[in-house]
Amino acid sequence: MILLLTYFVTRPAEIVVRDVQKVSQVIGETDRQRNVPADNRTESRFGLRGTDLGASFEHKGRLVFLFGDTWPVGPNTPDRPVDGDAIAFSDDRNPDDGLTLDFVTAADGKYKAVDIPGVSLKGFEVPNGGFSAGGHMYGIYTTDHTHVPAGEIMGRSVLGRSDDGRTWSLVYSLSTDKFINVSPVIVDASTTPGLPISRGKALLMWAGSREYRRSSPYLAFVPLDRVEDHSAIRYWAGPGKWSASESDATPVVNHPEVGELSVAWCAPLKRWLMLYNSGHPRGIQMRTALQATGPWGEPITLFDPKDGYGKFMHISWRDRHADSVHDPGRENEYGGEYAPYMIPRFFRKTKDGARIYFLLSTWNPYAVVLMRADLVV
């Protein structure tokens, strides 16, 4: 009873979203909204016409960005198949003037798609998170995609390992059930209450299930020094409970419409942030918690799509000619907001709260923009 009472009385105070705005367009050649070059001029520099996602993590002092289905300039090649996935590094420390990226490239200097032997990485088979451990980079990818009348099914998630972002190997299949779209975060167990261990580094994984954008988020834990041992994973099964069986995993919040999600510790606010795209309510939602295991607050709309449509997200010309930011030949196709991947390196304290930065995919144009939001406690 005391445990449950503690769980329910530690919900965080509400946060007010004061200001959310686009900083810059990260992917593409030209920011058509502002008629200026995009941050990285990816078409001319890297042969990259469009991509999405961009989950990031720190590795040896650099940021690593994992991008999703990528469209090359020109035809398919073995190094650049349409809908292959791309990786970029960044040494950027100042997000207010944009985000500078250096993509992993092939011998011709253009971007090189990720190849994990034995793993299909075609359309809808994408990275959704990564982390650094033991000098290696790890990426979590979805694969075995199928389409059903209700929507997309991500059949399996896998853990891949690389030393340079160029050559990858398969560590293991992570899940075929609840832990498919994963947001991994490394924590210090001694300062993170509620975990199965009280000392050492640990990897926490928040995730949505194989039913794409049709599940609530779950939570799992593994000691960081055993991250390549699948049997060491424990699944959150309710307040104070961890199980060795994935079937016991219990949603940390009830919202069965979670899409791509991103979880991060925000030091200036001293709380956890969870961002995700949702159909109901529409937009990018934010939840907060004082502890990694929750309880999580109610969703707050961080970004309303009406603030992007006609600006950096296209409105179909079938409805009205409100903008010209669409990709060539896609004038009658709406854009849309998804994949709000936070970049904790850039979080900063403000007078009355914090400023956070995150990437956002816009679908049409098929690009990624850098966003910032001011949060007030």
pLDDT tens digits, 211-234: 989 999 999 999 999 999 999 999
Two tokens, residue 183:
């947001």
Preceding peptide of 81 cis, ω within 30°: no
Q: Which distant-in-sequence residues (6+ apart) come within 8 Å of 77 by Cβ? A: none
Average pLDDT, the chain: 96
Instruction: Label residue 6 by pLDDT band (50, 70, 90).
Output: very low
Two tokens, residue 33:
């909204």
* Closest alpha carbon to 257 in 291, 290, 284: 284
Preceding peptide of 12 cis, ω within 30°: no
Maximum Cα interatomic distance, the chain, rounded to a whole number of Å:
64
Torsion, Cα of 268, 263, 61, 109 (10° steps):
-140
| 2-376 topology per CATH | Tachylectin-2; Chain A (2.115.10)
Instruction: Label residue 150 by pLDDT band (50, 70, 90).
Output: confident
* Closest alpha carbon to 20 in 265, 298, 377, 372: 372
Q: What is the pLDDT of residue 10?
A: 58
What residues form DSSP beta bridges with 249?
A: none
Cβ pair 265, 344 in contact under 8 A:
yes
Where does the chain have alpha helices with state H?
2-9, 42-46
Summarised one tens digit per residue, pLDDT across range 9-33 is 456 678 999 999 999 999 999 999 9
What residues form DSSP beta bridges with 235?
A: 220, 243
What are the distances in angstroms from CA 200 to CA 87, 171, 190? 29, 22, 7
* CA–CA gap between residue 70 and residue 361 (Å, rounded): 12
Two tokens, residue 120:
């299909």
How confident is the model over 302-331, as a mean pLDDT? 98
* CA–CA gap between residue 62 and residue 149 (Å, rounded): 42
* Exposure class string for 89-112: b at 16+ Cβ within 10 A, else e: bbebeebeebbbbebbbbeeebbb
Measured in whole angstroms, how far is the alpha carbon of residue 101 from the centre of its chain?
17
Measured in whole angstroms, how far is the alpha carbon of residue 63 from the centre of its chain?
14
* CA–CA gap between residue 212 and residue 259 (Å, rounded): 7
Summarised one tens digit per residue, pLDDT across range 66-108 is 999 999 999 989 999 999 999 999 999 999 999 999 999 999 9
Q: What is the pLDDT of residue 4?
A: 45
Summarised one tens digit per residue, pLDDT across range 98-134 is 999 999 999 999 999 999 999 999 999 999 999 999 9
Three-state DSSP state, 248: helix
What residues form DSSP beta bridges with 139?
A: 130, 160
Torsion, Cα of 117, 123, 124, 129 (10° steps):
50
Give, as one character, the DSSP assignment of residue 91: -
Measured in whole angstroms, how far is the alpha carbon of residue 172 from the centre of its chain?
21
* CA–CA gap between residue 296 and residue 260 (Å, rounded): 17
Q: Where are the domains of the chain?
A: 2-376
pLDDT at 303 > cutoff 60: yes
Tracing tokens 């580094």 back to the chain, one arrives at 201
Instruction: Label residue 3 by pLDDT band (50, 70, 90).
Output: very low
* CA–CA gap between residue 163 and residue 138 (Å, rounded): 9
For the chain, what's the residue count? 377
* Closest alpha carbon to 170 in 256, 95, 228, 105: 228
* CA–CA gap between residue 371 and residue 38 (Å, rounded): 14
Two tokens, residue 369:
């923009």
